[in-house]
């Protein structure tokens, strides 16, 4: 019996939820990214995207 080949790593998807308005702080009301972060998202490395998804964006969510 042969081992199945491992699945390729999944690309980190965008945190966009379709609510695309910047608040007074400059954060998107839907995904909590800045306009610059939204513009750069496609060119970010997976490591940078992962950091945003796991650390930066959760810290920006309202309490």
Which residues are bridge partners to 56 per DSSP?
Answer: none
**38-49 pLDDT tens trace:** 999 999 999 999
Is residue 1's pLDDT more than 70?
no
How distant, in Å, are the alpha carbons of 5, 10, 41, 53 from that of 59? 37, 24, 18, 10
pTM > 0.85: yes or no = no
pLDDT band at 62 (very low <50, low <70, confident <90, very high): confident
* Dist. CA 62–CA 38, nearest whole Å: 19
> Quick one: pLDDT at residue 63?
72
């Amino acid at each position: 019996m042969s081992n199945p080949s491992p699945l390729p790593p999944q690309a980190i998807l965008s945190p966009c939820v379709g609510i695309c308005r910047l608040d007074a702080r400059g954060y998107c009301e839907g995904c909590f990214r800045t306009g610059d972060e939204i513009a750069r998202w496609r060119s970010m490395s997976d490591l940078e995207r992962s950091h945003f998804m796991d650390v930066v964006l959760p810290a920006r969510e309202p309490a």
